[in-house]
Structure 1
Amino acid sequence: MSKDFEEERFKQVIHYTVSKICENIQHEQKDEIVFTKQTIATIAEITYRQSQIIANDLECFAQHAKRKRITVDDVLLCARRSPSLHQHLEEFKQKLASSSNAK
């Protein structure tokens, strides 16, 4: 598969997921909130661009630590500016660790 095809496919997946999330919100709010196609496309584009930034940061963090593998700690480092997200990810990390220890 070409890189362009994979990138376009990724954008399509993001757009589909964003539209489903917006549909769910609209349904939960009993159509009090309406998302236009333009709004959904804009949210999808922002999500795509933000994912590119995060992926680049993750690569840089791993390279800085002289690793070829991205670790959970790199992901936590990306979330450092959002305390609630960082806490959520820390809890998720602990849950993963405890479930792998239970096996």
Structure 2
Amino acid sequence: MLRDIGQKIRQLRTQKGIGLNAFADRLGVSAGYLSNLENGKTDTIQLTLLEKIQDELSIFPNEIIESLDTDDPVNLRLKHIDSLLRRLHNENPKQADYLMTMVENGIDVFHTNE
């Protein structure tokens, strides 16, 4: 997913004629980090940075942005975990199943200890 976002960021940034270093400065990140993001070499992005990029480049349609409940950090984390687990499942179903089982069992342990 971040690879696709990174490619979109590079495409829109270059279409607007903004250099990598200049854009990194505007976002408050290093040029190396931005380059890694654009090339899909990073696995994480802070929500605040994603919001800055959205403000600058409008990489997501407004309907998607409006549907995000940024006031609910648990919901955001669950959506992120969902996308990570789905990607892992596509790459290695056994690892994804192991992680999901561990979370399910952990939740069961907490519920029985209440």
TM-score, reference length from structure 1: 0.34
Which structure would you say has the larger RCO, counting Cα contacts within 8 Å and 6 or more residues apart? 2
